Every structure is written in structure tokens, then in C-alpha cells.
Structure 1
Amino acid sequence: MLNELFKAQQRMDRRNFFTKATLGIGALALSNLMKAESQEDLIKAIPGLPHFAPRAKRIVFLFQSGGPSQLETFDYKPKLKDMFGQDLPPSIRKGQRLTGMSADQASLPIAPSIFDFKRHGESGAWVSELMPHTAGIVDDLCFVKSLYTEQINHDPAITFFHTGHQLPGRPSIGSWMSYGLGSLNDNLPTFVVLQSKNAGGQPLYARLWGNGFLPTQHQGVQFTSGKDPVLYLNDPEGYDAGDRNRMLGYLKELNGVQKSAYGDPEIDARISQYEMAYRMQSSVPEISDMSDEPDHIFDMYGPDSRNPGTYAANCLLARKLLEKDVRYVALYHRGWDQHVYLPGGIKNQAKNTDQGSAALVKDLKQRGLLEDTLVIWGGEFGRTVYSQGKLTETNYGRDHHPRCFTMWMAGGGVKPGFTYGETDDLSYNIVKDPVHVHDFHATIMHLFGVDHERLTFKHQGRRYRLTDVHGHVVKDLLV
């Protein structure tokens, strides 16, 4: 009966023949990609990649979800102290639209930061007292103080920063990396996602690490802090590795029959995912086991690093993943959205993240990994210079601000001890060297040897890319 069913499915007219023949060619190409055994083979699976010699081969994005205030972290504006409580001048605002949370305010009172800033390192970078550990590594960092976006609310802004478009459905940057450059290892995913536990704040969605219209094996794989780092990876009780191996063998045969009937290249992708899951049954427990880490490493990352799922623990786990040549690690930490009671809120956020971030950079450097690993720290937009709601000398809030915000990078071919871009005295408008999110993406791709205009994927009759039809490489950031 089953054979007759498949025979019926395989009867085709002229139109079906050409449709399925075309899909079969695609399946063959994807199959060859999956069978590539070396890094060189994986890269060559996309013709011509890399387009030029890469400076980086791994990346970790320490994404601070919610929009950290540049005014309380890295963009020092001492003149604001003389402007306390003054209404934001129309000449500065320039008609910029506001969110619904502050649009109805009678005034927009200027709120200077209550935190002290000092210069640090040979580079003399300004850093807030909130970030003492980051202050200790400024000579390894490349600050970009002139980033901007058009998105003023969290969901579209975060989606835009991870996919190059404010609407859902596009591939994430990690998926583009996986698709274009392939994997550096056999037993772990190319793209891994970590989230801090109990961080609060705006929710995060799987589309931020989704594959969009790319083949599904390029989506991010989320690791959790629970007993099973990857859900449903372990065998059920009474089921051993031999059972799993036999099951996968039979499943591969069935999928092979299905592929011969339908010619769908996504079937090959699914087979590849099952095989990767089988290999991960041994590699994931090994990578998540921290028992071999010496005390001085835990001390460097801070006391939270012994508590799985915290930001510090995830920074340490990220180092282990990068050490095993996972190409892209996305580490998400929520809770930076301080519309009210900002001083207390951002102080707690800095306490939870500062030491782990700095330790990761130092740890990669001491292991010789920072040179070809790109580290990125930052959020989806900045915060306003004016207070949302009531302003006092010790308390205020800040609304979303897409016109300028600060991020930092380290390693992977960017200039160390360097600051790029400048904002006005109110950290409201960019006055020198603006960097759009598309430019930032183009620069990241360039560091990996990829011309952002040439890495495309045809979908629904159009060729798409991460930077859409925009973006230029900011070469001043590069070594």
C-alpha cells in the first residue's frame, strides 16, 4: 500500500517534472553543502566566499535589550549640569517625533546624569563610575558613539538591529553568517543563543535568531540554564544511544523516500538537523560542564558566574562555545528600559553585566582568541536627555531615543583604544561621523570577509540581503 502511494505521488505531467527536477538540483546542491567535512569546503559551498581575507571568524554579540542610556555609561556630557530642568530647545529637537509615553508632557526637562565620569587607559576614554570593570579594558575597545536608527519602539528596533528590517520574517544576522560562511565545527551548532534568566524587561522573540526564508539549519539554537541545556536533546528514560542511532537511520531512509518523491531541499536540511542533534548529545553536556574551570576564572567573571543562566555565567559559557569554534553566539540580557527611576535601575543593570562583559574580553585575549573573535556590546537605541515624568536632583527617567546611541566592539579587526563619532552637548543629535545600523551590519560582514552587497538569497522573485539596499563599510573602525 505504501509503495503504491509513493508510485502515485511520483506520476507527473510535464509541468510537475520540470518543477521537481529544479528542486532536485537545489536538493543536490544543499546535500553537497551538508556533506562538506572541512572548514574550507563549507566556505566554498557558497561560490566565491569569503570575498576577501577575513579579520574575524567568530562573533559574540552581548545584546543589552531595552536600550542602555548612553548618558549614564559612555557619552559624557558635563555641560548638562548647568542646564538642569531647562526645557529641551526646539532647535535641538528639530521636530523629532516622540513616543506616546512622553508626547503629552507639558515640558521636556533636561536631566543631567548623576553619575561621575573619568578618563581611563592610554586612550583616555570616558567611562561612567557604573562600569569600573569595562573601564579597565578601554584600551581593547572600539567605541562607536554615533549609531542611529529610525525605529523608536522596542519591537521594531530590536527586530531591525538583528535582521536589517523592522518587520518580522527576515533572516537574522547570525543566520546570514551561517548561510554564507558555514560551520567551523562538526559537533555544535553554527549559531547559539543564550538568554540571562530572571532579567525582566521587554520580551524577546525567537524571530531575533530565526532563519527567515533561509534553510532552517541556519536558525539559532537556544541553550537554557536548566537541567537540559538544549530542550528535548536527551534520550527518554529507557532509551539508549543505540536506539537513537537506529531510529535516526530509519528516519533518514523515510526522509530519503520523501525527498525522492517531492524533491524538497528542506528535507535535506531537516536530516542535517537530526544528525547534528545526535552529535550534540555528547558535545553539549561537555560544553556546559563548568567543573573543569579553575577558581581564578570564576573570580574574574564574578560570583554570579557560578550560577547557571546569569549574565556572568553565560559570558563564561560563551567563551567556551567560541573556544570550540561556534561561529556566532548571541547573548541577550534584558532590563535596560528605564522610563522611570533610572538611576537605581541602571545601577543594578551595570552591576549584573559589567564584570562579565569585561571578563569575556580579557579571557578571550589571554587565550589568543580575541584577535579573530569580534565582541559587540550594545542595545537597540539610546535614551533621551530629557526626563520622562517627574525630575528631581536624584531621580529621573529617560524615554527611547533613536537619533544617537553608543556601542563598543573589541577584537576581530577593529581598532583598539579608539572612539568614533560624536554627539552634541546634549547627546541628542550626531555632529560627526554618523553610523546607521545598516552601516554597522555592512562593517561586521566586511570583518568576516563578506561584501554585504554580494551575499544574497533569492526569495519570492527578489534577491534579499542583510543590509537591504543600504549600508556602507565604516573603514575608519578597522585596523
Structure 2
Amino acid sequence: MSHPNAFKIRMARRSILQQSACGFAGLAASASASELLYTAAASQSPAAPPKAKRIIFLFMQGGVSQVDSFDYKPELQRRHGKTAAFNDARELARSGTRGTEQRLMQSPWKFQQYGECGRAVSELFPETARHVDDLCFLHGMHTDGVAHGPATLFLHCGSTNFIRPSVGSWIYYGLGAENQDLPGFVTISPSIGNGGPRNYGSAFLPARYQGTPIGSAGKSTLELANLTRQDSNLQRQQEQLQLIERLNEQQALRRGAENSEFEAIAESYRLAWRMQRVGPEILDLNTESKETLAEYGIDQPETRGYGEKCLLARRLCEAGVRFIQVNYGDNSANPAWDQHSNLPKHAEHARAVDRPIAALLADLKRRGLLEDTIVWWGGEFGRTPYSQSNGTGRDHNPGGFTVWLAGGGFRPGIAYGSTDEFGFASVQGKVHMHDLHATLLHQLGLDHEQLTYRHAGRDFRLTDVYGRVISDVLA
């Protein structure tokens, strides 16, 4: 798969940078930003004039139930308790059986229409619902992978099992950094499970393009204090950096010019030095007004954790970070939204994220950032419209689910595609995860067929040999 206009930048083999325990050096060591990043995309002509400069991805780990959130199905309500036959992917994998009878389960939450567009949203997300006129719903999503691990990797990397660069790394590679003093790709509180670092890794792309993690999953707060500390003796720091540079020059002569992983580590120290000028101010959420902190729910225990993450995302967005992932999840065996036997727990998770998400949308719009920032909300798959575990939960459903997008040139206030009468399978306006990736890249001015990297004798891309741009959702 070779493309005449593909990137011709030749880099050395894949590498993974080691992170130090804390502070700016630890941040920088996972995603250094050199001047090369500003010229990396110069050899590629834009697919189209870019409508967006960056993405904020609100990842809902575990799979939010579409029929309990944004995909209202009256027929499911009417036929609650009755049975119907479904070609369930999990059942097919377990027993090879198709068309198994399952008991339908209505949503325990009421829906109502919001906004001028009249979109129906459940009472799980009343704050987000007030912004439906700014949202573009994709109701016909489907993906690969029926378990969390493969599906999460596919969401992030376009592959269920092979080691591939993450979507954030591809974007960082294709566009470079907006701000020379910050990493181009940041992931906030990532989980160690279901792919772990591979979900923000650069794989065979040069190591500088991997994501920089801030915080960790399962923590009630971001605990940014250790990242904002800095040595007040700038003269001593300058002398330390100069010494390290001299030692690195000696090592570079010994290792050879083609040792890209060593150069990436060396550059991480330079980035750490540059970050001290802007990092503390960006990471210090206390510089925000009381009104802003309250808007994001940081003054309330149940919304504080995700509120801090969303507010930090807005600050990183303002500072020029290309791809910011805001994770909602934990490090347990069962990811946050994975309610096989306790569907009412969806309400707890919704309360934690709904207000911060609404605040982020309002804040970005108020500051004029929503026009060139894509906000992407969704999980690795959806959930079944029938019950599991004696009617107390829902199983995984990769065949039909909902994501929504806002800003960045997407048509606001529309619903594209649909699932069947029960919300099980995508039937119209179907959008595969490869299609979503292709469309996101398109809005950033990148052609998913041309954004390639040569590795092991072939040209690789995020969408492999698939993907199409969904033009109907573009403004």
C-alpha cells in the first residue's frame, strides 16, 4: 500500500521512552517536541482546508449504554419484558449460536426533547442535553472487538491486536505541535488496563510522538502539585542542563546519528526546560475564578475529579496542545461504564461527568475555541437493549452505539444514522470506527490515505486499508 504523496520522513525503529518519577522531566520524557515537529507535515498537501486545529477526546471507558443516554427507542419501552431474537456477537463467540432469544429491557431513565433540534436525551445527562444544538450525534456507530481490550485498542489504534500508533500520535505526527514549549499529545488519567500505554503509544512512529500522561485512573483528584513544583534556582538548572547536553553530545557521537530513541530522550530534557516557562501556570487550576471552578463542579465531591480534568483540558487546548484525551475510568477489572449486573450505576457515573462536560462545551464556546476544536465523546462500544444477569444489566454491543462530536466544522444539532427499533444494530448511516477516524483527520486537514509511515517494508496508516470521510456530517 504505497501512496505517491505519503510522508517520506525516514526515522529509526520504534522505541518507548522511560519516564521519571515526577515533575516536568517525567512529563517531557514521554513526548518531546523538537523543531522537526513543525516541518514533519510540510511534505503533505492538506486533504482540504482544515476546519479544526485540535481534538479533545472525552473517553468513556467501558461502554455507555446508547439506549439509556442518547438513542431513544420507544419500541423498547413498549415491549419491555418480551423476547426477541438477536445475532449477538458475544453469544456467537461463546457458542457459535445465532438468533438467540433475549429478554428486552426498557431504560429505567426517562427521555425528553431538548433544544431547537428536538433531540431526545435521557435524564442521565440533563446538563449535556442543554447543548444538543451544538452536538452532532452519530447513532449508527459500529466497531470491531466484543471485549474491552480489543475494542479499546481498536478505538485508539485502529487494530484489535497488532501494535499500532494511537490516533493522538498520528495527529501529532501529521500536524506537529502548535506550542514548542509543550507536548503535542496529552492523555489525562489514563487506565493501565485494556491496552494501557498502547492506547497513547507511538508504536513504530518516532518516540517523540507518543502521548504524555498526566495523573492516573482511579484517583479522586489530579494531584498536580508535584508537577507544578520547580527549582527556583534557574542558574543552577541552566548549569545542569548544559552539563547534560555535553554528556549527551558525547553519547551521540558514540551511538551514531541514526539513534532516534537517544535523541528523543535528549530532547525531552530540553522540552522539560522550556516547559518550566509555561507549565506551572497551565497546571495550576487555582488561578481560575471561583465561578469557573463552580461551573466545572470542582466545588462538589462527586464532580470534582472529572471537573478538574475537563478544566485542565480547556487550559491545554488554549495553550496549543494538539490532542487531549480526558479519560473517565478506573484500573479495575471491570471498566467504569461496564454494567453487566448493575445498570443503575450508570447514574453514578453520569453525575460525575455530566456537569463538567457541559461546562467544557460552554467554556470553549464562550472563548471562541469551539470553532477550531473538535470535542469527541464516546466509548469503545455500546450496550445491548436486552437484559443480562437476571435483568439487572446489559452486555457489550459493538454492532450499534452512539458517539457525539461538537465544534471543528461538524454540523451542529443533527443526528446522523440510526440503529434498529431496539437500538441493537446500526441499520442506516452506518459509521465504522475507521470512518470516524478518517473524518476526524479530514477536519484537521489530513487525508487518512496519505497520512502514512513506512515500517517493515510497507506503508501503514491509522485506517489501514479502510475508512471513508462521512461528508454528510460536515458543515
In the superposition, the TM-score normalised over structure 1's length comes to 0.84
Deviations 1:118-149 (A, max 9, x none): 11111111100111101100000000001101
- Partner of 1:3 in structure 2? none
- Partner of 1:14 in structure 2? none
Aligned counterpart in structure 2 of residue 329 of structure 1, from 318, 324, 327: 324
Assess, with a 3 A threshold, how the Cα gap between structure 1 residues 205 and 26 changes in structure 2: closer, same or farther. closer
What does 1:59-138 correspond to in 2, within 5 Å?
Answer: 59-89=55-85, 92-93=86-87, 97-98=91-92, 108-138=102-132
Alignment partner of 1:354 is 2:348: no
8 Å CA contact 2:303, 2:352 repeated in 1: no
Deviations 1:374-412 (A, max 9, x none): 000100000011111112xxxx20000000110000000
What does 1:266-345 correspond to in 2, within 5 Å?
Answer: 266-304=261-299, 310-334=305-329, 335-343=336-344, 345=345
Counterpart amino acid of residue 208 in structure 1: N
Q: 1 CA distance for matches of 2:304 and 2:194? A: 16
Instruction: Please state whether the residue corresponding to 2:308 is helix, strand or coil.
Output: helix
Instruction: Please state whether the residue corresponding to 2:404 is helix, strand or coil.
Output: strand
8 Å CA contact 1:58, 1:373 repeated in 2: yes
Instruction: Please state whether the residue corresponding to 1:291 is helix, strand or coil.
Output: helix
CA drift of 1:229 comes to 5.4
Q: 1 CA distance for matches of 2:165 and 2:89? A: 33
Deviations 1:230-266 (A, max 9, x none): 4xx8568xx9433332232232233333333422233
Instruction: Please state whether the residue corresponding to 2:139 is helix, strand or coil.
Output: strand
What does 1:366-385 correspond to in 2, within 5 Å?
Answer: 366-385=366-385
Q: 1 CA distance for matches of 2:10 and 2:354? A: 50
CA drift of 1:51 comes to 3.8
- Partner of 1:365 in structure 2? 365
Aligned counterpart in structure 2 of residue 254 of structure 1, from 247, 256, 260: 247
8 Å CA contact 2:79, 2:104 repeated in 1: yes
Q: 2 CA distance for matches of 1:102 and 1:274? A: 54
Deviations 1:402-435 (A, max 9, x none): 0011000000010000110011111112221100
What does 1:407-418 correspond to in 2, within 5 Å?
Answer: 407-418=403-414
- Partner of 2:234 in structure 1? 241
- Partner of 2:454 in structure 1? 458
CA drift of 1:45 comes to 4.8
Q: 1 CA distance for matches of 2:199 and 2:448? A: 19
Counterpart amino acid of residue 68 in structure 1: V
What does 1:411-450 correspond to in 2, within 5 Å?
Answer: 411-450=407-446
Aligned counterpart in structure 2 of residue 265 of structure 1, from 260, 263, 271: 260
Deviations 1:255-283 (A, max 9, x none): 33333342223333222211111222342
8 Å CA contact 2:224, 2:283 repeated in 1: no
Deviations 1:321-345 (A, max 9, x none): 10111111001101111001102x0
Q: 2 CA distance for matches of 1:96 and 1:308? A: 34
Q: 2 CA distance for matches of 1:268 and 1:170? A: 22
Q: 2 CA distance for matches of 1:296 and 1:285? A: 21
Counterpart amino acid of residue 74 in structure 1: F
CA drift of 1:109 comes to 1.1
- Partner of 2:463 in structure 1? 467
8 Å CA contact 1:229, 1:284 repeated in 2: no
- Partner of 2:223 in structure 1? 226
Counterpart amino acid of residue 351 in structure 2: K
Q: 2 CA distance for matches of 1:246 and 1:101? A: 66
- Partner of 1:212 in structure 2? 203
CA drift of 1:155 comes to 0.5
Assess, with a 3 A threshold, how the Cα gap between structure 1 residues 119 and 26 changes in structure 2: closer, same or farther. closer
More helix by proportion, 1 or 2?
A: 1
Residues 318-327 or 106-115, more deviating? 106-115
Counterpart amino acid of residue 379 in structure 1: G
Instruction: Please state whether the residue corresponding to 1:413 is helix, strand or coil.
Output: coil
Q: What's the Cα RMSD here?
A: 2.8
Q: 1 CA distance for matches of 2:287 and 2:89? A: 57
Moved over 6 A (4+): 101-104, 305-309
8 Å CA contact 2:70, 2:120 repeated in 1: yes
Residues 376-385 or 305-314, more deviating? 305-314
Bigger Rg, structure 1 or 2: 1
- Partner of 1:7 in structure 2? none
Deviations 1:352-371 (A, max 9, x none): 00111111011000000000
In the superposition, the TM-score normalised over structure 2's length comes to 0.85
Instruction: Please state whether the residue corresponding to 1:150 is helix, strand or coil.
Output: coil
Runs of at least 5 residues in structure 1 that lack an aligned partner in the other structure:
1-23, 28-32
CA drift of 1:98 comes to 4.7
Q: 1 CA distance for matches of 2:303 and 2:89? A: 46
Counterpart amino acid of residue 307 in structure 2: A
Counterpart amino acid of residue 336 in structure 1: W
Alignment partner of 1:155 is 2:180: no
Q: 2 CA distance for matches of 1:306 and 1:82? A: 38
Aligned counterpart in structure 1 of residue 48 of structure 2, from 30, 49, 52: 52
Runs of at least 5 residues in structure 2 that lack an aligned partner in the other structure:
1-8, 13-32, 216-221, 330-335
Deviations 1:283-327 (A, max 9, x none): 222112122211221222124578997111110111111011111
- Partner of 2:138 in structure 1? 144
